[in-house]
Amino acid sequence: MLRMCPTRRHDSLESRTSMRNDEVAQILQETADLLELTGGNPHRARAFARAARSLQDLDAPAADRLREDTLVEVSGIGDGMADHISDIVHGGSFALRDELLSAVPPGLLDVLQVNGLGTKRTRRLWTELDIASLDELEHAAEADRITALDGFGAKTQQNILENVRQLRRYEAQWRLADAWAAAHSFLQSLRGLDAVDRAVPAGALRRHTETMERADVLVSTATAPSVVDWLDAHLDAPTREDSVVTGRLDEGLPVAVHLTSPDRFGTAWWRTTGTADHCTAVTEHADSPADHADEEALYRAAGLSVVPPALREGQGEVQAAADNALPELLTTEDLDGCLHNHSTYSDGAHTLREMALAARDRGYSYFGICDHSQSLRIADGLSPEEVRDQRDAVDRLNDELADDEPPFRIFHGIESDILRDGSLDYEQEVLEAFDFVVGSVHTGFSMTEEEATERLVRAVESPHTRILGHPTGRLLLGREGYPIDHERVIAACAEHDVALELNANPHRLDLDWRWVRHATDQGVLISINPDAHATAELDYVKWGVAVGRKGWLTPDQCLNAKSLDAFVQWLDDTRP
């Protein structure tokens, strides 16, 4: 069977719909939270939360399903819920949510965002201490008022205070994927203006930094006043200083629009993209650049190879460009396999078959299923009997697909919990049955650096561990990772031939790209894994590749850029 036009090959960071499913799902989840905060029917709250999860994992846009009258076929979405979703898609909200929002203080949902609180604790703080904003929560913790509540001890109060301050730091930041989605439609609108020659991302957005405070955009125009007039009408609170107009997009993203003329575009794009360290390194090498219409001419005049935007961080890339020693960076087209994915066997939204076929249809040669292990009960981790059942299902599906051309194969893996003592979940005979094991920490995050490092190193030393998953457990702008000695963990991976995961979920992007180059210098392979829980999430790999490139990652250094035969050989060579 011939696989034509794999969508992965044409995937762009700029693709999005007018209203994404995750935006609708967020409103449904907020409604579930509001019901719990106001003491509403818990069954009704769970129904909204269930619908939110189903919508989050839906491949097709909700608006398309509504037009086709097939939304009610989705698990957890009946006629009434479909009506709510229709109201959200067409009007941005619905009556019940509006009613619930009017019943709570406007700052209470901000309190709910504090890590570790949840709806029950937030409701108690509101109803028993009259705390309804982050300021009030912070002041109450500082005044030692929270410990007056049963179940809120001094340690809990201190954690609340630290998490409030952490949340305030996060409030000024945007994740790469969110910033890109918000900036894309803005760029498209700019490109449609007669006065605009080019409109392109710049700054941290173009360098694919994992979080940022604002999006920078560069506009090439011969009639700047016309563009400024348009920006004044379309940005929230626009201000202008020289050739830069700043403001906020409808989504709330701060944006800085830099205006330049076509003949200076290349120099302006270079200057607005690279960090100060990068630009300084270039000028120290060849003086301040003249005006150029394109970046290639600027680098050529400086006697340098063109530095890819992702590398413009001031970390030796200019000297490498002078020596003609820049790496050929990894691209999504280089990926031949898709490892670390989940299915309905644990907490995934789609079946093993659906996930595997979705990977095949994206052009991959192999697919790794890695559902959660037995100790992670909250994620429906697999019992040993379920492991055996899944293995049989994998074998049957591989037999069914055996005649595929080009070849496609499913590997039976597991995301094994790394227990507190560093051991893997399951007994030896169960672990031996897997094709490969991804070891990850999901519980017990409160560790010292020594404790966390020892836990990971012991897991890496297990002969069954082939990939160390999301090494610090961080959630970008949601949870700090546990502290680890990266050098020691990387050294252990090098010694035991264990690959390090760069988890491509845009909320994780863990391993941090700043450690990728150190790992590859030690000979450690990096595995760009989507950690997909639904078919659409297979495309998360684009974010992993984007930040992996910042760590100078090449195809030869990426585990799942190996061909099917080479991946099988790697498994055989590292099998205990």
- Any bridge partners for residue 258, and if so which? 218, 244
Answer positive or negative: Cα dihedral of 27, 28, 29, 31. positive
Question: Is the distance from CB of 413 to CB of 437 less than 8 angstroms?
Answer: yes
CB half-sphere exposure, 379, CA atoms < 13 A: 21
| pLDDT of 17 | 40
- pTM for the model: 0.82
* Across 64-78, 384-398, 451-465, 536-550, least confident range: 64-78
Residue 483 CA, distance from chain mean position: 20
By CB atoms closer than 10 A (0-12, 13-18, 19+), residue 252 is: exposed
Distance in angstroms (rounded) separating the CA atoms of residues 35 and 144: 29
Distance in angstroms (rounded) separating the CA atoms of residues 277 and 312: 8
Residue 104 predicted with pLDDT over 90: no
What percent of the chain is modeled with pLDDT above 90? 79
| pLDDT of 13 | 41
Residue 424's SS3 state is: strand
- Per DSSP, the residues of 5-45 read S-GGGG--TT---SS-HHHHHHHHHHHHHHHHHTT--HHHH
Backbone torsion region of residue 164, taken as left when φ is above 0, otherwise alpha when ψ lies between -120 and 50, otherwise beta: alpha
- pLDDT tens digits for range 319-349: 999 999 999 999 999 999 999 999 989 988 7
- pLDDT tens digits for range 475-491: 998 888 999 999 999 99
Please give the DSSP secondary-structure letter assigned to residue 373.
Answer: B
Residue 508 predicted with pLDDT over 50: yes
Domains delineated in the chain: 21-171 (1.10.150.20), 175-322 (3.30.460.10), 334-574 (3.20.20.140)
Name all contacts of 38-44 with Cβ < 8 Å and 24+ positions apart: 38/100, 38/103, 38/104, 39/123, 40/100
Query: Parallel, antiparallel, or unpaired for β 366-372 and 337-341?
Result: parallel
Mean pLDDT of 367-377: 93
Q: Pick the residue with more confidence: 360 or 91?
A: 360
* Across 18-22, 195-199, 534-538, 540-544, least confident range: 18-22
Q: How confident is the model at residue 178 (pLDDT cuts 50, 70, 90)?
A: very high
CA distances from 248 to 184, 216, 227 (A): 14, 11, 16
Distance in angstroms (rounded) separating the CA atoms of residues 127 and 104: 11
| pLDDT of 436 | 97
Question: Is the distance from CB of 48 to CB of 35 less than 8 angstroms?
Answer: yes
**Could you tell me the two tokens for 48?**
């909204």
Q: What angle, 0 to 180 degrees and rounded to 10, lies between the N-to-C axes of helices 176-191 and 224-234? A: 130
- pLDDT tens digits for range 5-51: 333 322 434 333 456 888 899 999 999 999 999 999 999 999 999 89
| pLDDT of 18 | 59
| pLDDT of 575 | 74
Q: Which run of H or E residues covers position 393? A: helix 384-400
Instruction: Provide the 10 A C-beta neighbour count for residue 1.
Output: 9
Question: Is the distance from CB of 33 to CB of 39 less than 8 angstroms?
Answer: no
Distance in angstroms (rounded) separating the CA atoms of residues 341 and 198: 39
